[in-house]
């Protein structure tokens, strides 16, 4: 655990991120960012998550004291040149899971930390490979509640873990935070 005298603010409503950050800090205040998450045209996946984590951090920083440590993040799934956000409906979830079937795709999480006007942004990439999925497997998965609040229409920590053939990189990055790297980045940042 990291000792920090002021508040630690997590600029995210994600239950998964709230759980993961408690591996680093005992007490965290949740202050979800309210901002326009429209991406600039032609932006790549790594740049997208870094951009979104920065604007979330800026939005939350306006609501708290600058002496507080603010941690914000964004995660996207990328396959080829396509960035997959959260599905808008069942058809969109079906399209996304079908697109990921039998392929290696990338999960990027961008993280921004700020304190006393100082700001640092970084990102992490994890490669995830799905099995070749049958139509029945896809329908069963998208009929659960799980896909609809997650980038790429899946949560590796839940039922989607049954779709995953393998990963290369940080598992927790796919869940929502590259938590081991985040701890080290924060320790270096607050010195």
Active site residues: 74
Of 16, 3, 17, give the one whose Cα is nearest residue 60: 17
């Amino acid at each position: 655990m990291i000792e920090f005298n002021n508040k630690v603010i997590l600029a995210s409503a994600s239950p998964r991120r709230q759980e993961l950050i408690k591996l680093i800090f005992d007490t965290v205040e949740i202050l979800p960012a309210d901002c326009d998450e429209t991406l600039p045209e032609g932006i790549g996946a790594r740049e997208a998550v870094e951009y979104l984590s920065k604007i979330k951090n800026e939005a939350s920083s306006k609501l708290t004291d600058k002496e507080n440590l603010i941690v914000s993040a964004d995660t996207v799934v990328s396959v080829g040149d396509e960035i997959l956000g959260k599905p808008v409906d069942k058809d969109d979830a079906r399209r996304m899971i079908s697109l990921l079937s039998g392929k290696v795709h990338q999960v990027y999480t961008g993280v921004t930390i700020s304190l006393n006007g100082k700001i640092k942004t970084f990102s992490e990439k994890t490669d995830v490979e799905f099995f070749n999925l049958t139509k029945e497997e896809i329908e069963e998965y998208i009929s659960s509640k799980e896909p609809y609040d997650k980038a790429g229409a899946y949560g590796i920590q839940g039922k989607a873990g049954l779709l995953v053939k393998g990963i290369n990189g940080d598992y927790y990055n796919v869940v929502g935070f590259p938590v081991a790297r985040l701890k080290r980045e924060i320790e270096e940042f607050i010195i």
